[in-house]
Structure 1
Amino acid sequence: MKKILFVCLGNICRSPSAEAVFAAKAQAACYPVIVDSAGTGNWHVGEPPYGPMQQAAQRRGYDLSSLRARQITASDFEGFDLIVAMDEANLRDIERLRPSGSETPVTLMMSYAPETGERAVPDPYYTRDFDEALNLIEAAANGLLASLTN
Structure 2
Amino acid sequence: MINVLFVCLGNICRSPMAEAIFRDLVQKEGLENEITADSAGIGDWHTGKLPHEGTRAILDKRAISYQGITARQVRPADWDDYQYIVAMDENNVNDLSLIREKTEGTKVARLMDYVVDAEEVNIPDPYFTGNFDYVYELIYQGCNQLLDQLKLDHHLKTRSGLDE
Q: Is the structural similarity TM-score above 0.5?
A: yes
Superposition map of 1:73-112 within 5 A: 73-100=75-102, 102-112=104-114
Instruction: Tell me how far 1:65 sits from its aligned partner.
Output: 4.4
Query: Is 1:136–2:138 an aligned residue pair?
Result: yes
CA–CA separation in structure 2 for the residues paired with 1:39 and 1:104 = 17
Query: Which secondary structure state, in structure 1, belongs to the residue aligned with residue 117 of structure 2?
Result: helix
Q: Is the 8 A contact 2:79 2:103 kept in 1?
A: no
State which drifts further: 93-102 or 48-57. 93-102
Query: Which secondary structure state, in structure 1, belongs to the residue aligned with residue 24 of structure 2?
Result: helix
**Could you list the runs of 5+ residues in structure 2 that have no partner in the other structure?**
153-164
Query: Which secondary structure state, in structure 2, belongs to the residue aligned with residue 106 of structure 1?
Result: strand
Amino acid at match of 2:42: T
CA–CA separation in structure 1 for the residues paired with 2:23 and 2:54 = 20
Give TM-score, length-normalised by structure 2: 0.87
Change (3 A) 1:28 1:43: same
CA–CA separation in structure 1 for the residues paired with 2:89 and 2:102 = 23
Name which one, 1 or 2, has greater alpha-carbon Rg. Answer: 2
- The equivalent position to 1:45 in structure 2, one of 41, 44, 47, is 47
- The equivalent position to 1:58 in structure 2, one of 54, 57, 60, is 60
Amino acid at match of 1:137: I
Which residue of structure 1 aligns with residue 30 of structure 2?
Answer: 30
Q: 4+ runs of 1 displaced by more than 6 Å?
A: none
**Could you list the runs of 5+ residues in structure 1 that have no partner in the other structure?**
none
Q: Is the 8 A contact 1:49 1:65 kept in 2?
A: no
Give TM-score, length-normalised by structure 1: 0.95
| Residue correspondences, number | 150
Identity %: 39
CA–CA separation in structure 2 for the residues paired with 1:115 and 1:58 = 29
Instruction: Tell me how far 1:101 sits from its aligned partner.
Output: 6.4
Aligned-residue Cα RMSD (Å) equals: 1.3
CA–CA separation in structure 2 for the residues paired with 1:108 and 1:148 = 15
CA–CA separation in structure 2 for the residues paired with 1:64 and 1:57 = 7
Instruction: Tell me how far 1:104 sits from its aligned partner.
Output: 1.2
